[in-house]
Structure 1
Amino acid sequence: MKYKRVLIVLLVVLNNSFLYSKQDSVSLDMNSSYDSLRDLEDKLFSNNDFDSIRNVLNVHLKKAKSENNLEELSWAYYYFMFFEEDEKAIIYADSAITISEKEINYLLPGTAYYMKGLIYYENGKIDSSLSNLIKSYDLSKITKNYEQTVDCLNGIASIKVSYGEEKQALKLHKEALIYLANNNKSIRSADYTRLVTMENLAKGYLEIGYLDSARTTTKDAIILAEKINEKELLNSLSIFRAQINYYDNKFLVARDTLQKYVETMPEMSKADIYYYLGNIEEKLQNQTGKLAYFKKIDSIIGSELKSLDNVKDIYQTLLSDAINQNDKERELEYLKKLIHYDSIQFNRYKNVRNIGKSQFDLPKLQNLKSELEVKINREKLLKKWLILLLAAFLVLISLLIYRNRIIEIRLKSVLSKRIVPKISNNIIRNDLDLDEHIYYNITTGLEQWEEKKGFLDKEMTLQKLSKILDTNSTYLSRIVNVTKEQNFSSYLKDLRITYAINFLKENPEFIGTKSNIVLAEYFGFNSLDVFTRALKEKIGLTPYMFLKGIKSRNL
């Protein structure tokens, strides 16, 4: 589940004593008072009249510079940063911060740091975004800017998700809700801020797979949205509830809701919904439907290559389809886009966290792209389809030879040494915060249970083993998670497949007497599919490859 939370956009609430219209006659010169200039700026902001406000701000800025009025100069910079392009907005924010800090005015730099945090986040500069949001949070608490303090907590939580620290992000959202409750009367838009925080909390629960908590929090948020008549967030929450249904395998219910709202949403929100609709079609065995939705997403992203969650998955799917259809033009197009997004992700996270097993190898992609471009150019110039067909045939043969060689190397390695379960790190017992007697009894019991091969029991569960070891499932789960560095299900699967591999190598005659399904059940697996996936994860070979290798060795 690949999911992204958006930082709360700063709501600038401006005082409007009357409506401004462009027909109003406004006299602007260096003699205008600062109060009149700021009043006019507020009114122009409230009407989104950015062309006019730029003229007013230029007068404000020129007057403040000529009079060396640092406070007014900082306010002029402050207003400029709200409607300038990102690069200029950062410069204005820094200018406002530098000047206002000299004047010991902490209200202004707190907001400026927050704006910088938003801009950096939107541009993928996560470290810089986090640094500025933390500074804004500290200043917001000093100035008792309660609403902005909550916004910062939610923003920092979003950054935590980018670092893979979902549980810490949840704590921050909960802290934001507590802070809201304690300062409810001092926050002008408390209900709205609470609603946004609840939505982020629900998304956090979904991020770590707590579907029940995500569903309950979403239900409470919908009730609040209806109470305060926030239709836009109500629609967003309804869509999010459909996403929960998707992960809860309620595909038809999820599809009906998403199809109901998709056409009412902005383009990029449509793209997010199309992604879920595409995956639902795949779950319903409709690969053509999935491709159709993913192509809609590609048309929304367009040549501007807009940022979107799960974009690599989308283009990997489209690239595979283009390859299968032998459509070289689309293949090259999708490959370029995949490289673009892979570069962004690689550069964003390489100094923060290990991108993980799913990382696309960027250097190899670059080489593949170059080879493909040469091949397409040659095809267009020479128009020799026979040469292209021959080249494709040779590539296929090379891949088959390479694949067989890799399998041979893996098989040789597996057959030449004993396979062992996942090795756990040296764990200090005190880290588990458990009684010494409980810790000793459970770990000793686990060792004895492993020696007796209790894991071969197909009906074995965490609860059943807890009863065998005369303990509770919570203690057992904690010890397995920490000492074995995996959850109980993975631990059980690892023990079974490790034993199966070694047993079959040592007893090759056993293979000829049992079908693959019977073998899987013999080693405690409930299905051949689970056995096959476990074997591939452990040694990178299918049962057919592995068993064939054992038979060949013993001929």
Structure 2
Amino acid sequence: MSCAIAFFQKNIKLFFTSFLPIFLLFNSLTLFAFQTSSDSLSTKEYSYLRKLVYGNFKDSLKAIPYAQSYLYKAKIDNDTIKIANGFFYFSIVTQDEKIKDKYIDSMILYAKNLNTKLYPASAYFYKAKIAYNRGNFKKAIDLYLKTNEKAKESGNTHLFYASKKSMGILKSRIGEHQTALKELRQCYQYFSKCKKEKSRDYLRTLFALSDAYNLNKKLDSATYINVLGYTESITFKDEDFRHYFTLNEGINLFDKKNFTTAKDSLSNAIKEFKLNGDEANLSMAYFFFGKTLDALGEEKEAINAHIKVDEIFQNIAEIMPNNRENYEILINYYKKLGDKDNQLKYIQQLITVDSILHTNYRYLIKGVVQNYDTPRLLSEKQKIIDSLKTGKKTSYTIISILGIVSFLLSILWLINRRRQKQYKRRFEELYHKKDVPKKGDTKTALQQEKAKLTIPDEVVKEILNKLKIFENELGFTQQEISLTSLAKKFKTNSNYLSKIINTYKEKSFKHYINDLRINQSIVKLKTEPKFRNYTIKAIAQEMGFNTAEVFSKTFYNQNGIYPSYFIKELEKQIK
């Protein structure tokens, strides 16, 4: 699949350190523990400190004092932009991922209210890149969209297209090939106009565009871009980049069934990637090299190439969705030879690969599974297990493990299938549910409850009327609302208000407010198309919840499905 993706990941840190000057807030105790050293550097210019951060960013022990001094100086000067820059410098030199996240979040805290060409768009862009690199593609997409919005508002055209290019690469990765191609074409039109000033961005765009053309089976267009990219790499004295176009064209030639020429191109790419240490693209080159050799009738050499892909995967634990086929090829080869040990080995590897794909590609895993879907894979394992029982006693441990795994996978599959049916049924109930007002209690029951309340009738009536107005005016969507604050607003005491809600609404104050919020969210989702495009976090905030997690949990507790599932099914129903 996408070589551009592997290249994108390899170069992500270099890209950040050369493109962005940003990021976020951290604990002041940590920041000023170094005050003595900061004082000695505080007279230095910002440009001097920034230069030393970049000059030493690979050695955090050397770089951190300069980042600290930069941030210390910015705080003394009360310069919000430079404070955001300071947190960015911290984020690129720290090795601890949790601490890095704190710097990033703090940077956004400072940057989000700025209105410059760089901020806050570049802060969201950087966080999107981090989410992408960690396999959190859904979050990355949301952040890229936020980047585009802010970059457009501030007139930062370059950042707008840089973000758009990243989204195109991501969409290629998750299988949205047509959409990716459309966006990358637009990026190419932009970067080709500024290729002299931004040659590396231009070459990266060409590389991603070539990959997109190939994935959309526009092979002649892919060849055109590969030739152009190879030539432009030499023109801009970035000759190491030409090897990536050699790789892409090798894959393209394979798809054109020009196997002899494809073999030469892929062989050259393998040599270069061995030298530059790009194992992700080396894996891709070996994969297609193996398929090319097999097409030329060189089966043993082809299998050796596919074994190389497995060796690289064990080393870097990074795999592209279509490289899953690599293990199907190895399993089938050893099955044909009757080599049960190697067949079992690569079946186990395929299970490992599937677990990674299921984690990083959970939104497209159904489209990834090809010849060996879960039931067939389990069946193949069981057949091998049965044959090994009468063969090698030393294999009993492996057989037991695989049997347990097969059983657990089957149980999980059944549970998931049952759960999906339940979710579907609950959605249908919720979708067709009408907002029928709840009938009041009988007169006798109400009188009994009033007697228990020992609250004057006129007070009860007044509070119930105010609650009705409160509900009609959607007062419950305000964040941080409490029993005390609402009682104060109603000019009554919280004890009266609590007892009346418990009696007449038949629920606690907390459940009363949350139920109103959830019901209102359902009404808006059903009736407002724009509202369905909001993120879960935005919907939660709109309804008055502090976090997306609390909103999702409350929605699930009330309706038996999560809001994300309800929105997805609602879109299908409406279409």
TM-score where L is the length of structure 1: 0.58
Equivalent position of 2:87 in the other structure: 77
Paired with 1:351 and 1:383, the residues of 2 have a C-alpha distance of 36
Equivalent residues of 1:342, 1:362 under 8 A apart: no
Q: Which is further off, 136-145 or 4-13?
A: 4-13
User: Pairwise mapping of residues 91-102 of structure 1 onto structure 2 (< 5 A)?
Assistant: 91-102=102-113
Equivalent position of 1:464 in the other structure: none
Shift of 1:211: 1.4
Matched, 1:138 2:149: yes
Matched, 1:270 2:287: no
Which among 46, 56, 64 is matched to residue 66 of structure 2?
A: 56
Equivalent position of 2:301 in the other structure: 289
Paired with 1:324 and 1:375, the residues of 2 have a C-alpha distance of 15
User: Pairwise mapping of residues 302-317 of structure 1 onto structure 2 (< 5 A)?
Assistant: 302=314, 304-308=316-320, 310-317=322-329
Which among 52, 56, 77 is matched to residue 43 of structure 1?
A: 52
Equivalent residues of 2:171, 2:180 under 8 A apart: yes
Paired with 1:70 and 1:276, the residues of 2 have a C-alpha distance of 50
Equivalent residues of 1:170, 1:204 under 8 A apart: yes
- Counterpart amino acid of 2:45? S
Equivalent position of 1:196 in the other structure: 204
Matched, 1:230 2:238: yes
Equivalent residues of 1:74, 1:97 under 8 A apart: yes
Equivalent position of 1:21 in the other structure: none
Paired with 1:359 and 1:43, the residues of 2 have a C-alpha distance of 53
Equivalent residues of 1:94, 1:112 under 8 A apart: no
Paired with 2:181 and 2:294, the residues of 1 have a C-alpha distance of 31
Which among 97, 100, 120 is matched to residue 109 of structure 1?
A: 120
Change (3 A) 1:362 1:61: farther
Equivalent position of 1:280 in the other structure: 292
Equivalent residues of 1:282, 1:290 under 8 A apart: yes
Paired with 1:354 and 1:189, the residues of 2 have a C-alpha distance of 42
User: Pairwise mapping of residues 502-521 of structure 1 onto structure 2 (< 5 A)?
Assistant: none
Paired with 1:44 and 1:373, the residues of 2 have a C-alpha distance of 57
Show CA shifts across 1:508-550 (max 9, x none): xxxxxxxxxxxxxxxxxxxxxxxxxxxxxxxxxxxxxxxxxxx
Equivalent position of 2:263 in the other structure: 255
Shift of 1:53: 0.5
Show CA shifts across 1:474-505 (max 9, x none): xxxxxxxxxxxxxxxxxxxxxxxxxxxxxxxx
Equivalent residues of 1:349, 1:355 under 8 A apart: no
Helix, strand or coil at the partner of 1:12 = helix
Equivalent position of 2:248 in the other structure: 240
Equivalent residues of 2:49, 2:69 under 8 A apart: no
Residue segments in structure 1 that go unaligned for 5+ positions in a row: 16-26, 389-555
Paired with 2:75 and 2:375, the residues of 1 have a C-alpha distance of 52
Which among 104, 119, 130 is matched to residue 119 of structure 1?
A: 130
User: Pairwise mapping of residues 172-183 of structure 1 onto structure 2 (< 5 A)?
Assistant: 172-180=183-191
Q: Which is further off, 297-306 or 60-69?
A: 60-69
Which among 132, 148, 152 is matched to residue 159 of structure 2?
A: 148
Flag the structure with higher helix content.
2
Paired with 2:385 and 2:66, the residues of 1 have a C-alpha distance of 53
Equivalent position of 2:4 in the other structure: 5
Change (3 A) 1:195 1:231: same
Quote the RMSD (CA, aligned, Å): 3.6
Change (3 A) 1:13 1:164: closer
Matched, 1:169 2:191: no
Which among 280, 301, 308 is matched to residue 313 of structure 2?
A: 301
Paired with 1:254 and 1:181, the residues of 2 have a C-alpha distance of 28
TM-score where L is the length of structure 2: 0.57
Shift of 1:135: 1.6
Equivalent residues of 2:111, 2:120 under 8 A apart: yes
Equivalent position of 1:208 in the other structure: 216
- Counterpart amino acid of 2:91? M
Q: Which is further off, 153-162 or 50-59?
A: 50-59
- Counterpart amino acid of 2:38? D
Shift of 1:278: 0.6
Q: How many residues align?
A: 371
Equivalent residues of 1:120, 1:128 under 8 A apart: yes
Residue segments in structure 2 that go unaligned for 5+ positions in a row: 21-35, 400-575
Paired with 2:46 and 2:353, the residues of 1 have a C-alpha distance of 45
Helix, strand or coil at the partner of 2:38 = coil
Matched, 1:30 2:42: no
- Counterpart amino acid of 1:121? Y
Paired with 1:344 and 1:351, the residues of 2 have a C-alpha distance of 13
Equivalent residues of 1:14, 1:42 under 8 A apart: no
Shift of 1:115: 2.2
Equivalent residues of 2:287, 2:323 under 8 A apart: no
* Identity %, equivalent residues: 19
Shift of 1:320: 2.5
Equivalent residues of 1:28, 1:56 under 8 A apart: no
Paired with 1:310 and 1:156, the residues of 2 have a C-alpha distance of 20
Equivalent residues of 2:63, 2:93 under 8 A apart: no
